[in-house]
Amino acid sequence: MITRDVVNFWEAIDSLKNNKDTTKIFQTLVIDRATKEFKIFIKKWNIKAENYTVQLKRYPEFYRTLRRNTLRLINSEDSIRAIVKRFRGMYPGFVEADICIGIGNFKTGGNIEIANGKNYVYIGLEFHGLDSSTIIEELSPAIKDYVSRSNFYRTVIHELVHIQQYTHGQKVKKALKGNLLMNRILNEGIPDFISQLVVKDSNNGNYFIYGLQHERELKQKLKMELKTNGSGNWFGGPDILFIQMPRDLGYFMGSRIANAYYNQYGRLSDLIEIKDAENFIILSKYFQE
């Protein structure tokens, strides 16, 4: 576990009391001092000092109230190790990864990278470091919706599932490769379901609450669109699409298909080492319910 980058971020915030050159402080104390693990994701997601400056000015109350819980989380190593151990016990083929925890530019809440022969998971605490005391009123509607599912421990497991998917050979990659909606639904939904299985009684967010309330009509809509290309309005998109519903309902629907399959067969390895997306959906019997 790499947590130094979170400490660097808050040290930069504290340094602003005596130095008003915000961008220089973030460059010097966050970007230049970044751990080698965080540097991988700084490059991948183009994290910049000037973006920190803009966001701090735009969301001062958010950052002020974010701090306490982020420091609590990076000191919860025993809890993190416990959930990873539980996942490892459920899946004998488990492959390890270094977990880098940072605060970025609202570009990714969780991500993976395989570099230099090592596996890396990244968790962005500006998305997944919130608790009930964090003030979110300053955030945009899209970010507010995303942080409604702020869930550090589940995100750790979600990204670790992606590591397993990417390190178990070409069959998994082939099964989920391509532009069909069903491939992305399962690629994200399977890790979401497994994270729910491993981490119990945790925040589900707007997309899960809405999904359960409207599952019947969502199921009918998805059934018609599974073999279409692209993401439709199941992942992301312009804010105007999500006035009446949450973003990223594709995560929810994929998790429900995975749940239905797991209830039929009880084999976690089938979910992680999926070989045929279409056959997986048929065997789940989700659309027959």
pLDDT at 228 over 70: yes
Task: Find the range with the poorest average confidence among 17-26, 209-218, 233-242, 279-288.
Answer: 233-242
> Do 143 and 218 fall within a single domain?
no
pLDDT at 83 over 90: yes
In Å, what is the CA distance from 49 to each residue of 24, 55, 172, 251?
7, 10, 37, 31
Rounded Cα distance between 156 and 87, Å, is 11
pLDDT band for 169, please (50, 70, 90 cuts).
low
> Do 157 and 217 fall within a single domain?
no
pLDDT at 203 over 80: no
pLDDT at 187 over 90: yes
Please state, for a pLDDT cut of 90, what percent of the chain lies above it.
Answer: 78
> Do 135 and 192 fall within a single domain?
no
> Do 75 and 93 fall within a single domain?
yes
> Do 120 and 24 fall within a single domain?
yes
Task: Find the range with the poorest average confidence among 134-138, 147-151, 207-211, 244-248.
Answer: 244-248
The larger pLDDT score, comparing residue 52 to residue 171, is at 52
pLDDT band for 170, please (50, 70, 90 cuts).
low
Please give the average per-residue pLDDT across 167-179, as a whole number.
73
Structural domain ending residue among the three candidates 122, 151, 167: 167
Rounded Cα distance between 50 and 34, Å, is 16
pLDDT digits (tens, 9 = 90+) for 56-76: 999 999 999 999 999 999 999
> Do 92 and 198 fall within a single domain?
no
pLDDT at 242 over 70: no
> Do 14 and 62 fall within a single domain?
yes
Domains held by the chain: number? 2
Structural domain ending residue among the three candidates 119, 136, 167: 167
pLDDT at 168 over 90: no
> Do 192 and 235 fall within a single domain?
yes
Helices (H), 148-266: 152-166, 170-176, 181-198, 205-213, 215-225, 249-265
pLDDT at 92 over 80: yes
> Do 175 and 162 fall within a single domain?
no
pLDDT at 201 over 80: no
pLDDT band for 79, please (50, 70, 90 cuts).
very high
pLDDT band for 251, please (50, 70, 90 cuts).
very high
pLDDT at 36 over 90: yes
> Do 222 and 109 fall within a single domain?
no
Average per-residue pLDDT for the chain: 92
> Do 15 and 141 fall within a single domain?
yes
Rounded Cα distance between 211 and 122, Å, is 27
Structural domain ending residue among the three candidates 130, 152, 167: 167
User: How high is the pLDDT of residue 232?
Assistant: 83
- Give the up-direction half-sphere exposure of residue 185: CA atoms within 13 A in the CB hemisphere: 31
User: How high is the pLDDT of residue 244?
Assistant: 76
Query: Residue 191 is part of which domain span?
Result: 170-289
User: How high is the pLDDT of residue 171?
Assistant: 64
> Do 12 and 153 fall within a single domain?
yes
